[in-house]
Amino acid sequence: MILTVVNLILIFWVLMANRKVAVSDDEDPENKKTGHVYDGIEEYDNPLPKWWFQMFLGTLIFTIIYLALYPGLGSWQGLLGWTQINQLEREQEKAAENFNTVFGKYMSMPIEEVAREPAAVKIGVRLFGNNCAVCHGADAGGNFGFPDLTDDDWLYGGSPEQILHSLVQGRVGQMPAWDNIIGEENVIAVSEYVLSLSGQPHDETQLATGAQVYAQNCAACHAADGTGNQVVGAPNLTDDIWLYSGTAAGIRQSVRSGRFGNMPAQSDKLREEKIHLLAAYVYSLSLDDSE
C-alpha cells in the first residue's frame, strides 16, 4: 500500500518537475539543448507538449479515483465494495437467466414438438457438434462401430423416450466372442447363414449347418428370423445396414471375436435442458420431410 502511494507521488513529482525547462536570460526556451551530440545531431531539452502533459495528469487522476473505488491498496476494499466473487455471482445469475430464457421454454414441450421447432433444431445442431459428432460424424451419418442417426434403423428404438434414455443413461452393447464356443467351422457356417438373411451372396452348402448354429446360439438375441431385438440392442441382420461390416470377412470377425459398444451417459456431462434439445435434434434427423 505504501509502495503504491509513494510511486504515485514520485510520478506526480517527476511530471510536475519537468513541465517547464529552466533557462538563463541568454538562452532561447524553445531551443535549449542538453549538450548531448551524436553523429552531428544535437539533443534538445524541450518540455512535454501541453496535451501530452495533460494526458499524463489525467491518468494519475483516474488512478486515484480507481484505487478509491476498487480494491488495490493492500487490504482496502474500495468504496464500492466490489469483489471478484460477487461479480462472478452476478454473472452466473445473468447467465442462468439467459439459459432459462433460451432453453427453459423447450423443457415444457414434448420432444416431438421441439423437433419441429427450427430455432430448437439449430441449437441442437451446435450441441450435437460439440458432444456427439466425434463419434457419430458431423452429419450424424455414423462411423465404423457408431450408428447412423439419420436413417430409420435403431438398435434400441427411435422413439423420443428411447432416444432420451440412450442420452441420459447411455447404452452398453456386447456381442460375445463365439470362436472358443462353437469353433471356426461353425463360425464360417453361421456367417454364411447371416449373409443369406440379408440377401447377400453366400455358400449354399453351409446354410443347413449355419441355420442350426444360429438357432442354438444367436436366435435368443437376434430373434429366430434375424430381425433383431431392440430390448437388448441386438441389430437386425436381415437388412443392408451394418454397424461394423456386412461383408463375409466382417461378419466372421464379429462372430469369431465379438464386438463391444459403449454409448456414454450424458447425464453427468450435460444439463437436463440440453439433453432434451439434443434428443429432439436426433429425433428430427430421422423424420420424413413430410412429417
CATH number for the domain harbouring residue 250: 1.10.760.10
Q: Is the dihedral of CA 121, 127, 130, 132 positive or negative?
A: negative
Does residue 77 belong to any structural domain of this protein?
no
Same domain, residue pair 157 and 186: no
Does residue 114 belong to any structural domain of this protein?
yes
Check the annotation: does 55 bind a ligand: no
Residue pointed to by grid coordinates 462353437: 182
Same domain, residue pair 31 and 136: no
Q: What is the pLDDT of residue 130?
A: 93
Q: What is the pLDDT of residue 288?
A: 61
Name 38's bridge partners: 41
Same domain, residue pair 217 and 259: yes
Same domain, residue pair 160 and 269: yes
Does residue 244 belong to any structural domain of this protein?
yes
Q: What is the pLDDT of residue 290?
A: 40
How far is residue 95 from each of residues 86, 89, 105, 125, 252, measured CA to CA in Å?
14, 10, 15, 21, 53
Domain boundary among 50, 69, 88: 69
* CA contacts within 13 A on the Cβ side of 91: 6
Q: Considering its fold, how many domains does the chain have in total?
A: 3
Same domain, residue pair 40 and 110: no
Check the annotation: does 36 bind a ligand: no
Tell me the three-class secondary structure of the chain, residue by residue. CHHHHHHHHHHHHHHHHCCCCCCCCCCCCCCCEEEEEECCEEEECCCCCHHHHHHHHHHHHHHHHHHHHCCCCCCCCCCCCCCHHHHHHHHHHHHHHHHHHHHHHHHCCCHHHHCCCHHHHHHHHHHHHHHCHHHHCCCCCCECCECCCCCCCCCCCCCHHHHHHHHHHCEEEEECCCHHHHHHHHHHHHHHHHHHHCCCCCCHHHHHHHHHHHHHHCHHHHCCCCCCECCCCECCCCCCCCCCCCCHHHHHHHHHHCEEEEECCCCCCCCHHHHHHHHHHHHHHCCCCCC
Nearest to 124 by CA among 134, 114, 109: 114
Check the annotation: does 222 bind a ligand: yes
Q: What is the pLDDT of residue 105?
A: 85
Does residue 79 belong to any structural domain of this protein?
no
Per the CB < 8 A criterion, the answer to whether 270 and 159 are in contact is no
Same domain, residue pair 186 and 258: yes
Distance CA 150, CA 271 (A): 24
Same domain, residue pair 165 and 55: no
Same domain, residue pair 144 and 179: no
Same domain, residue pair 189 and 230: yes
Does residue 83 belong to any structural domain of this protein?
no
Check the annotation: does 136 bind a ligand: yes
Same domain, residue pair 188 and 252: yes
Check the annotation: does 175 bind a ligand: yes
Q: Chunked in runs of 10, what are the mean pLDDT values of the chain (291 residues)? A: 92 86 59 81 82 93 94 88 91 87 86 93 93 93 92 91 94 92 94 94 93 94 93 92 92 94 92 93 78 48
Same domain, residue pair 146 and 271: yes
**Domain coverage including residue 224:** 173-263
Q: What is the pLDDT of residue 17?
A: 84
Does residue 225 belong to any structural domain of this protein?
yes
Q: What is the pLDDT of residue 29?
A: 59
Does residue 214 belong to any structural domain of this protein?
yes
91 class by beta-carbon count within 10 Å (0-12 exposed, 13-18 middle, 19+ buried)? exposed
Produce one character per residue of 251-264: b if its CB has 16 or more CB atoms within 10 Å, e if not.
bbbbbbeebebebe
pTM, two decimals, is: 0.67
Same domain, residue pair 274 and 143: yes
Does residue 151 belong to any structural domain of this protein?
yes
Tell me the three-class secondary structure of 121-139, residue by residue. HHHHHHHHHHHCHHHHCCC
Distance CA 176, CA 256 (A): 9
Check the annotation: does 16 bind a ligand: no
Check the annotation: does 132 bind a ligand: yes
Per the CB < 8 A criterion, the answer to whether 273 and 99 are in contact is yes
97 class by beta-carbon count within 10 Å (0-12 exposed, 13-18 middle, 19+ buried)? exposed
Distance CA 141, CA 108 (A): 29
